[in-house]
Amino acid sequence: MVPIRLCVLVSGSGTILEAMLNAGLEVTLVAADRPCRGLDVARAAGITALLVDREKFGGFTASFDREAYTAELTRLLSEDRVDLVAMAGFGTIVTGTFHRVFPGRVLNTHPALLPDFKGWHAVRATLAAGATVSGCTVHVATEELDDGPILAQRRVEVFTDDDESSLHERIKTVERALYPEVIARVMASLAQGFEPESVAGTIEEI
């Protein structure tokens, strides 16, 4: 089978990246949009760590040039012959340029049972809606935020005394197990010539 070159996109502590490495995933490249611990995790593991800093494109201001940033990130990953991209808490929304170069090859994990509760504050919205069940979703990312084919979901019960922090922590625990499992299956699928959507349809309750 052809080796699959996996790039993980990070912005923060790198705990999801650590879970991937602990699960035995072979990561070729880690890229970040800001200086962060995730890059240190990559370097400590002997993985190429690439900082594509937003500051060079306007930072976190209204003048941020999203298209130029996306073009640079896309160019660098393409030059590294990346086959599959896994977003792991990546805090920058990229434009359609990225998805056209890596069509169907960008994965994401979201702390809710999509298609419900899309967006940055999914856990807060789950609690506000009075939902009794939440969870995490691994899906193929598209240009539309938190959209795209669902590959796997795992449910997490919402307790009556949960706040945003406690529920999110339990979801993260499940996410760190489920996401590496799905990525491994996707990489195996790609190595055999199948696309990521071929692993879709796994819903597990815990």
**Contact at 8 Å (CB) between 51 and 40?**
no
- Among candidate residues 38, 70, 103, the one where a domain is terminated: 103
Alpha-carbon distance of 166 to 102, in angstroms, equals 35
- Identify the active-site residue in 110, 121, 139, 168: 110
Q: At 205, is the secondary structure helix, strand, or coil?
A: strand
User: Residues 92, 137: one domain?
Assistant: no
User: Residues 67, 135: one domain?
Assistant: no
- Among candidate residues 84, 103, 122, the one where a domain is terminated: 103
User: Residues 123, 138: one domain?
Assistant: yes
What predicted TM-score, i.e. pTM, was given to this entire model? 0.93
* Ordered per-residue pLDDT tens for the chain, 206 residues: 678 999 999 999 999 999 999 999 999 999 999 999 999 999 999 999 999 999 999 999 999 999 999 999 999 999 999 999 999 999 999 999 999 999 999 999 999 999 999 998 999 999 999 999 999 999 999 999 899 999 999 999 999 999 999 999 999 999 999 999 999 999 999 998 887 776 766 545 43
200 lies in which domain range? 108-206
131: domain CATH number is 3.40.50.170
Is 99 one of the catalytic residues?
Answer: no
